[in-house]
Amino acid sequence: MTAESQTRAAHPPGSRTVRVPLGDRSYDIRIVHGDESGGFGPFAREALEATRAGRSCRSALVVTDSNVRALAARHAEALAAQGIAAEVAVVPPGEGSKSLEQAAELLDRLIALRADRHSAVVAVGGGVVGDLAGFVASTYARGIPLLMAPTTLLAQVDSSVGGKVGVNRPAAKNIVGAFHQPSGVWIDTRSLDTLPPRELRCGMAEVVKYGVILDPAFFEAVERAAAAVLALDPAAVAPVVARCCELKAGVVSEDEREETGLRAVLNFGHTIGHAVEAVAGYGGPFQHGEAVAAGMVAESRLAERLGWIDPGLTDRLSRLLRLLGLPTSAPGLDPRALIAAMTLDKKNAGGRIRFVLPRALGSVELTDAPAEGDVRAVLDELTAAD
């Protein structure tokens, strides 16, 4: 393949590119629908060549789960065509794989491959695979190149972008982790065609989040396009994915490592949502997007109690989430256990639980203002029997 044809393959007609501007750690997100041109391989090589370590990349470990093993094998073949010898490591699907034990197995696999600082890790899968593979890439040899090829909507619009990687401990989600930016993110929205409907709905929770925290016009667009996105109409899906990536890229470029507090806005719904996941059990009745959906409603109710918003905003949010088939409550969970789980949230400061709460549609604020009684009342409502 000539250099010109490689460039065409890496930038197929109709593709969209979102740049994440981070100085010498900047990278591109390439959004396509279908990879008939064989674009992943040229894109991967182009992304790696833009980095010092990647220019010497000749080997890679492709991390995936059993749900998308065949797609990962095709990605490995595409890398081989670029002179990058790739092996595939398959982990069990589900949140349980985001563990130190699974990370250790992958690190041992890299050692067995004689990987060095110029080897790459390629994550092909959803958010679990991306977080796990990224954590391994961040720790092996103190950091090696990482490429993301997210295959779920949640990963495409959120977790694959921004460099947050990590694993869970039994009591707390993502409590062990690092910041490790990828060299590039390849999003093929056609991979969503085989996504179970529940997984697709979970991704829509993060889509809705972006509208609430940053872009009221986008929230309105999602209200109008909800049915088309759930039907996987490519004309509806691509703009939604691209806009979410643009919004997150803007936040990450201004607060890459959560040092100014701006990036915390991305955690709307997550203080309570992560607690729901932990208390219900990872891999249990609430997937991440479902827990975040319920968490957004509860945190919006907290904002009502502070007098920041009127109930109309929460009601509108709840209607959209229900339209998307997402839960707005978490019946049966113990409010006291949820509070205990929230005390381990990474946003906390001075022993106080902090929340990201809406001031208006498109505007949120990180705060520890809610009183304990208000938090308990909201959690009682969240967990009440239907």
Please give the positions annotated as active site: 142, 164, 206, 248, 258, 263, 267, 270, 274, 288
Sequence length of the chain is 386
On the 0-12 / 13-18 / 19+ scale of CB atoms within 10 A, 76 is buried
Q: At residue 336, what is the residue type?
A: R
- Give the bridge partners for 148, in sequence order: 123, 185
- Sign for the CA dihedral angle at 339, 343, 344, 347 comes to positive
**Residue 375 assigned as binding residue:** no
**Residue 173 assigned as binding residue:** yes
Is residue 269 left, alpha or beta, with left meaning phi > 0 and alpha meaning psi from -120 to 50?
left
The span from the CA of 267 to the CA of 213, in Å, is 9
**How far lies 34's CA from each of 187, 189, 242, 279, 333, in Å?**
10, 7, 16, 39, 42
**Residue 38 assigned as binding residue:** no
**Residue 164 assigned as binding residue:** yes
**Residue 152 assigned as binding residue:** yes
**Residue 312 assigned as binding residue:** no
**Residue 362 assigned as binding residue:** no
**Residue 130 assigned as binding residue:** yes
Shortest CA distance to 146 belongs to which of 60, 84, 77?
60
The span from the CA of 358 to the CA of 331, in Å, is 24
Asked if 33 and 190 touch (Cβ cutoff 8 Å), the reply is yes
**Residue 271 assigned as binding residue:** no
Q: Residue 246's CB: how many other CB atoms inside 10 A? A: 19
The span from the CA of 156 to the CA of 62, in Å, is 18
Provide the greatest CA pair distance for the chain. Answer: 66
**Residue 209 assigned as binding residue:** no
What residues form the annotated binding site for Zn(2+)? 206, 270, 288
Task: Write out the binding residues for NAD(+).
Answer: 127-131, 151-152, 164, 173
Binding residues: 127-131, 151-152, 164, 173, 206, 270, 288
